[in-house]
Structure 1
Amino acid sequence: MSSKTLLLALVVILAARPSTQDPVFQVVKMGTSVAPAVAKSVPGFSAIDCAMKCAETTGCFGFNWLQNLCGLFNISSYENAWTFCNNCDAFILPMPQKKRAANCTQSFTYYNSNYLSGCESAIDGNRSQLTALCSITQNGPNEWWEVELVNATLIKYVTIYNRQQCCQEWLNKFSVQVDGVECNRVNLTMPFSVANFSCNVAFGSRVR
């Protein structure tokens, strides 16, 4: 749910496995101050070494690497509240999900070196509501976020996971549009955490 996720990967070469089955880890964030909570810490002299150890550990979904230490974590840690990590590098296995979004854009991307605030953060499969992991624009009257779906789809509702740490009330007046046609106008008096907003069965490929 990075300003941009870095398009880097670690390929782990294991003698006991064919190259077509080598696990590939993708970068979540380099030099981050927040990362998934660690379930197990083991020595590691490089990110490649950590990747090998994660691949050999049952239930390991990713790892944080910092100063010759591998912090292994599971998918539950990745999807829930992240913890402090002093300038570590975080990696995960690719998320096992069907691709439904082809592209996304937003009116403005808030910049903070420790935040994953690009539009991709709203559709990355991570439902954590930490501010640092949410899509963030400006606090203005005409901000917007839009996703382009792979195919035109019947849309009954849109689920929004609002950030939890502050400013939930900022997301209180907005409209939901499908292919430029408004299907719901929202005007809330109380902040929300997670909510579904009906579209009364719209059909299209662009949701804003």
Structure 2
Amino acid sequence: MSTVQLLPVISSAVIAGAVVGAGGPLLDAAGGGFSYALAAILSAGWCYAALAFCVGMVDTTKLRAAGGGAVSLTVAVLAYYITKATQGDFAAADLTDTTGQTTYFSWGEFASMTSLWGVVALVLGPLLGLAGWMARRGRVCLPFQLLIPVIALAETTMRLHVEASSPSTPVVTAWEVVRTAAVVLIGVLLAYAAWTKWRSQPRAQVRG
């Protein structure tokens, strides 16, 4: 495949990754219940997994799917931590200043967090991209189609369990909506797979 043919694929993966990665922190800083809810969704692990999965799903070859998944997820991680850095999340107090008013940018913390999740992105990105490709073009699609809704269901259930004692907030409502949507999607996918299998079975001919 030529470089010219790869450019649209890479560009799409980069744009999608940048939107998801930077979108979470920016919406969180914007304030407001709706913004907080969207920020929580965009910053969730299942959303990052869905990013690489969807990029792989629209690609036409396994190699492009794997590459697109890796690129989109890595860019998302970089965009997330760079945006958080510009918002002052990695500012540390200067202990030599007795007033406690002097801060500096903690390059060590920034580098360690970015490197850790960057490695995770490089490992999981290609796998999720391939899973997306298999969900659309593989011989057995159903297990791969169920991957993202199952991840979303598991993560939201865990988050809601942790926040069970807290009052209802827009973020908690967002988790409940995502979990409900995941359950519905799982049911639809299973029902459609069963219906497709039933239709593909040979019918007994009615003898006159």
TM band (smaller chain): under 0.3
Instruction: Give the alignment's TM-score, normalised by structure 2.
Output: 0.18
Looking at secondary structure, tell me which structure has more strand per residue: 1
Larger Rg: 2
User: Per residue, is there more helix in 1 or in 2?
Assistant: 2
| TM-score calculated relative to the size of structure 1 | 0.18
Which is bigger in relative contact order (C-alpha 8 A, separation at least 6)?
2
